[in-house]
Structure 1
Amino acid sequence: MKRLTFILFFVLTCHNSCFAKDYFTVKWVDDGDTIVLDNGTKVRYIGINTPEITHGDKKGEFYGKEAREYNQKLVLNKKVYLELDYEKRDRYERLLAYVFLEDETFVNAEIAKEGYAYILPKEQTSKYEDLFLKLQREAMSKKKGIWRNIYENDKDSSYIGNNKSKRFHYHTCSYAKRMSNKNKVLFSKQWDAFWNGFAPCKECIK
């Protein structure tokens, strides 16, 4: 009976790393937060968002090229293993994952730590969200990567954060106008919203 209890406890509490890992080789790096594995699976890193790179006629965002190059340096042609969370796919059918190298380097975290991304929280808290926010704040404090540009170009304005979705909007945004008062958090600078773990609305903040 004691042995059975121990086995059940182990299974329920064991981290993914307790079990054999399936390794894949990264064959392509789309951008700073998306890769393609040797089996053809396209993987989007959970919890972070890097600037867009140029696609056809669509101009890339500031630091997008640098973020992609850093991601390439980290993972291209290297073996990785994946951890999944409660949400398995995004709207583009990309697999959502936390990505680790063979030496246990946590790729999502490294990209946030070096200032190539801002965190992208979900309504349902993900397992590494607190870590990502801690690393983001460290990068912000050092003005690393994207953060120097954001700091230097941040202007006083009126932003409204949504405590439920963890997104912040210009006060004129249609999403802000429809937001429940109980979920509203006011910010005068984008910097403050980022510091508190909010991500920008893709519709009103480019």
Structure 2
Amino acid sequence: MITCTVTRVVDGDTLHVDIAGADETVRLIGVDTPETRHPLRGIEPFGREAEKYTRSQLEGRHVLLETDVQNRDEYSRLLCYVWLEDPIKINDASIRAKMFNARLLLDGYAQLLTVPPNVKYVDYFRKYQAEARENERGLWGLGPAAAVHVIACHRDGSLDNRNWP
């Protein structure tokens, strides 16, 4: 794991970190928060809330970054799981309590976004999203028009999606 400091939050699932004096952009693995800065989609429902939540939890904080199979995406962003504390033992309880990606799903600020081969925690993430949805947490409490269902993720990173009824 890489120790760093979060210097700036771009949106709910993208941030800047300082790693030994170098600025890096990090994209969180396995989650997709509603957009706040997308040139075509603009501000999506619950986007500002997700960005504010990420900022309140991470900005200025020391965190640990964990990568998966691919270290970077096509935009050269680091692809990471963000740990708020050293998990020591990785299990459901530690992931729920200490991994920020999981917190976004559990609290309803993000939807699951699976982009193989980065799927180390996908089974946990599916369960966390289902829990948030069942309990109408965050964006799941906004009604069906707010959610987007991803049909496919292409090799170039583009998504096919539609409004979820």
Q: TM-score range by the shorter chain?
A: 0.7 to 0.9
| 8 Å CA contact 1:29, 1:72 repeated in 2 | yes
1:17-28 alignment, distance < 5 Å = 21-28=1-8
**Whole-Å Cα distance in 1 between the matches of residues 64 and 106 of structure 2?**
20
What amino acid maps onto 1:126 in structure 2? V
Distance 1:203 1:49, change over 3 A: same
1:18-167 alignment, distance < 5 Å = 21-38=1-18, 39-54=22-37, 59-102=42-85, 104=87, 105-124=98-117, 126-151=119-144, 153=145, 167=150
**Whole-Å Cα distance in 2 between the matches of residues 103 and 89 of structure 1?**
22
Q: Going by fraction, where is helix more abundant, 1 or 2?
A: 1
Q: Aligned pair count?
A: 144
Shift of residue 45 of structure 1?
0.4
Q: TM-score, normalised by structure 1?
A: 0.62
Name which structure has the greater RCO, CA cutoff 8 Å, separation 6+.
2
Q: TM-score, normalised by structure 2?
A: 0.77
Q: Secondary structure at the match of 2:76?
A: coil
**Whole-Å Cα distance in 1 between the matches of residues 58 and 52 of structure 2?**
10
List gaps (5 residues or longer) in structure 2: 88-97
Q: Secondary structure at the match of 1:37?
A: strand
Shift of residue 73 of structure 1?
1.2
Worse-superposed segment, 48-57 or 141-150: 48-57
Q: Secondary structure at the match of 2:23?
A: coil
**Whole-Å Cα distance in 2 between the matches of residues 81 and 92 of structure 1?**
21
List gaps (5 residues or longer) in structure 1: 1-20, 155-160, 162-166, 170-174, 176-200
- Name the Cα RMSD after superposition: 2.6
Moved over 4 A (4+): 55-58
Distance 1:168 1:150, change over 3 A: farther
What amino acid maps onto 2:115 in structure 1? K
Over the matched positions of the two proteins, sequence identity in percent amounts to 36
What amino acid maps onto 2:112 in structure 1? I
| 8 Å CA contact 1:54, 1:61 repeated in 2 | no
Q: Going by fraction, where is strand more abundant, 1 or 2?
A: 2
**Whole-Å Cα distance in 2 between the matches of residues 109 and 57 of structure 1?**
27
